[in-house]
Amino acid sequence: MYWVGLLLCVVLGVEAGGIVAGVLAADTGWSVTLIVVGANLAPWTGIAAFGLLLAGRRRRHTSTAAVEPPRWETVMARIESVRAVGDGPDVPLRLDLTVAPDGRPGCRVDASAVVNLMDLDDFRVGRTVVVDQDAAHPWEVRVHPRPPAGFAAHVAQARIDSAPSETRLTAPAPSSPPAGHGWGGVRAGLLAAALGAALSVVPFHGFY
């Protein structure tokens, strides 16, 4: 997308060169044609070119952030609050949890779960549930509707203290493009247009 915008900027420069060639041409018929064609195409080419440049730079900035794959760890958590957000035999729940990873302080996270109506008693406030927590993004939590094999005994014996609300983890806001991000695309486009104008000497050299 970014490189297509640069290419269109070169075309824009060639079109601008055509307009100049038309103004300077001695042949009245060709000069009118060059001016009319260039004047009609240049605005639309410019809009498309700089639009693609800005969109392409924004996309490149977003893609530069390294996307680390999830590293799920199975840990236990205490239910601090629970709220049903739907009906049916499989009930969607919104949970406020204190997650207690082994060897690390507990923290509060928000999570969702879909639980069968017959298992709702296991999701009362104060109960312990098993979750998968992403070690790289600890606010990402997946709740197990039922304890996995080998965790049932640990859940029955677990005593997890509530973490204070100040420890709540949330996903960070998307980063903003750096200062001057948009102007960088404009500068690159203007340079490409200048290059196109210089190249226009070749096809239009007979008109100058």
In this structure, which amino acid lies at residue 58?
R
Residue 38: pLDDT over 90: no
CATH code for the structural domain at 72-167: 2.40.50
This prediction's pTM: 0.55
Torsion region of 153: left, alpha or beta (phi above 0 gives left; psi -120 to 50 gives alpha): alpha
Residue 42: pLDDT over 80: no
Where along the chain do its domains lie?
Answer: 2-65+180-207, 72-167
Binning pLDDT at 50, 70 and 90, where does residue 43 land? confident
> Mapping DSSP to helix (H, G, I), strand (E, B) and coil, where does residue 51 land?
helix
pLDDT tens digits, residue range 160-199? 889 999 999 888 876 555 544 455 566 776 676 677 667 6
Closest CA to 83 of 119, 117, 113, 128: 113
Instruction: Return the pLDDT at 180.
Output: 46
CA distance 9 to 196: 7
